[in-house]
Amino acid sequence: MGALLRCILLLFVVGVVAVPGAVAGRLSRNYYRHSCPRVERIVADVVAAKQRANPSTAAGTLRLFFHDCFVGGCDASVLVSPLTADRSPERAADINLSLPGDAFDVVVRAKAALEVACPGAVSCADILALAARDLVGILGGPRFPVALGRRDARRSDARDVEGNLPRTNMSARAMTVLFARKGFTPQELVALAGAHTIGFSHCGEFAHRLYNFKSADGYDPSLNPTFARALQSSCANYKNDPTISIFNDIMTPGKFDELYFKNLPRGLGLLASDAALWEYPVTRVFVQRYAANQTAFFEDFARAMQKLGAVGVKTGRQGVVRRHCDVLN
């Protein structure tokens, strides 16, 4: 264990050195003060209307933001449609095929409104960052400032995705290594995982925990038995209907709160990667902290989201401002 912790610490230190602090420093809350002073209000209005009409928008947009930032930086490269690109973009990668349409749609709607108010001014990357922040607040989560000034990527390639995003069956140890490469601590990993307090997962993502598992009962013994049997029943037809899904947090699925963390020691973590955070001592301590203290979770989540929003950002001539978020300029 001591050697493992030293390894993780070393990776974290290396990752911190690689974080583009100077680039993040060029972002500013007042970036659009002259070119589009109402940008935050326009995005907030569009986001609120979309969330009212489609309540799954919040969780999908948070996931979309994370998938964008962890692959090449927060540059809206994940938004590029396979129908408009010369080669397969990030969106066509296997792990991104389940990104929900409502998440893309809310960015498209906000972009359309901004193009009317401030043509050619606001990047798709900034819209996605603002939308993710606003949706957390709408569902009762923390509100926090978002620095702006990101530019959109000139390229998007599905080949860049593999190895840069956590899988649902990943061990906590592997996730800490992955996050360390991006400059994030185990604590920040756990804080960001708290986004699973909202949203849902398709049965196919966790079916290996429910059927033909090498245990006396045939399911993952880390699952609460009652929960496991209910999942077996609910997901029984998942092979014929891959759209069958279950809420990530079965207690308060529509509220951004700390219940996700309270669920984990009770065997109510839906994904193997969720349960792993409780089983691994390095991350368990932070699960315990957030389960006991919602304020601590909110504060750490807000800081981690601000840090996430600064990963690999492009500013100035490093990128462009797309007129259409799903099309490369």
The β-bridge partners of 200 are 247
Please tell me whether 71 is known to bind a ligand: yes
Please tell me whether 105 is known to bind a ligand: no
Please tell me whether 75 is known to bind a ligand: yes
Residue 67 annotated as catalytic: yes
Q: Who contacts 52 (Cβ-Cβ below 8 Å, separation ≥6)?
A: none
Active-site hit among 67, 202, 208, 324: 67
Please tell me whether 185 is known to bind a ligand: no
Cβ-based neighbour number of residue 40 at 10 Å: 18
80 closest CA partner among 160, 149, 164: 160
119, 2 in Cβ contact below 8 A? no
Please tell me whether 166 is known to bind a ligand: yes
E strands within the chain? 200-202, 245-247
Please tell me whether 90 is known to bind a ligand: yes
The β-bridge partners of 247 are 200
Please tell me whether 197 is known to bind a ligand: yes
Q: 146-175: buried (b, 16+ CB within 10 Å) or exposed (e) per residue? A: bbbbbbbbeebbbeebeebbbebebbbbeb
Please tell me whether 77 is known to bind a ligand: yes
Q: Do strands 200-202 and 245-247 pair parallel, antiparallel, or not at all (unpaired)?
A: antiparallel
- What residues act catalytically? 67
Binding site for heme b, residues? 196
Binding site, residues? 68, 71, 73, 75, 77, 90, 166, 196-197, 249, 252, 257
Binding site for Ca(2+), residues? 68, 71, 73, 75, 77, 90, 197, 249, 252, 257
